[in-house]
A and B are shown apart, each in its own frame.
Chain A
Amino acid sequence: MAQPQPSPTGVIHFPDGLPGFESLRQFVLLQEEELLPIVFLVSLIEPKICLPLAPIHHIRSDYQLRLTEDDRRMLELPAEVIPGLNVLCMAVLNLGDGTQKPSANLLAPIVINPANCTAKQIIQIDSPYSTVTEV
């Protein structure tokens, strides 16, 4: 059974914005118990920008997150990063449209430090992961 993750309740700040929405830097993470583990990243300024996310270890239990020193510094993460404990590692979900099957982006997880509500979508260059992983 999945362990509960820390849940940032404040505004989540993306210092680099979000790819595709570079001007949007403030988001909130909305969750409804009956929809977990799916949660929703919603823009504070443009609430119609709402992305479904899921904890990446629900999709790949052996997922290896790699962070550069720059990423770690930006997010103020400790040396030992434990997804689900001191960091949230979330995959953006594409729910599909009937012609395309639902998929998850494992190549570029959204990494959130729940302690300071800072986040970044971090591309896992040179990893074996795909942007379109069937769920």
Chain B
Amino acid sequence: MVGDQVEVRILEISRAQVKIGVIAPREVGIYRSEISRLNRSAVLGDLRKPEVKAAIAAVRKALSKNDG
């Protein structure tokens, strides 16, 4: 057990790998560290910089294609 809510089980062992399962109630933030990391990496730089403006324009163009 990890704490009193998260259980880590060894599901399968083979020569080359160990398969591990994590059992946790929905409210445990298994994904939270990944979401935190992604939010931090999504922070924009200076909006006045040409490369930031270009990146925004490229994404905007891609989104407008999705609108069809």
Could you tell me which A residues sit within 8 Å of B by CB distance? 1-2, 18-21, 35, 37-38, 40, 48-52, 54, 58-59, 61, 68, 92-96, 102, 105, 107-108, 121, 123, 125, 131-132, 135
Contacts and interface: CB of A to CB of B under 8 A. Distances in A.
Q: How large is the interface on B (under 10, 10 to 19, 20 to 34, 35 or more residues)?
A: 20 to 34
B31 A123 contact: yes
A20 B36 contact: yes
B39 A95 contact: no
B62 A135 contact: yes
B44 A2 contact: no
Secondary structure call for the B interface? helix
A2 to B, nearest CB: 6
Interface of B: 26, 29-32, 34-44, 47, 52, 55-56, 58-60, 62-63, 66-67
Question: Looking at chain A's contact residues, is the secondary structure mostly helix, strand, loop, or mixed?
Answer: loop
Nearest to B40: A20
Contact of A1 (B42, B55, B58, B67): B67
A131 B34 contact: yes
Contacts of B34: 131
Contacts of A68: 26
18 contacts: A1-B67, A20-B35, A20-B36, A21-B39, A38-B63, A49-B43, A50-B44, A51-B43, A68-B26, A92-B38, A92-B42, A102-B58, A102-B62, A105-B38, A108-B38, A123-B31, A123-B35, A131-B31
A79 to B, nearest CB: 21
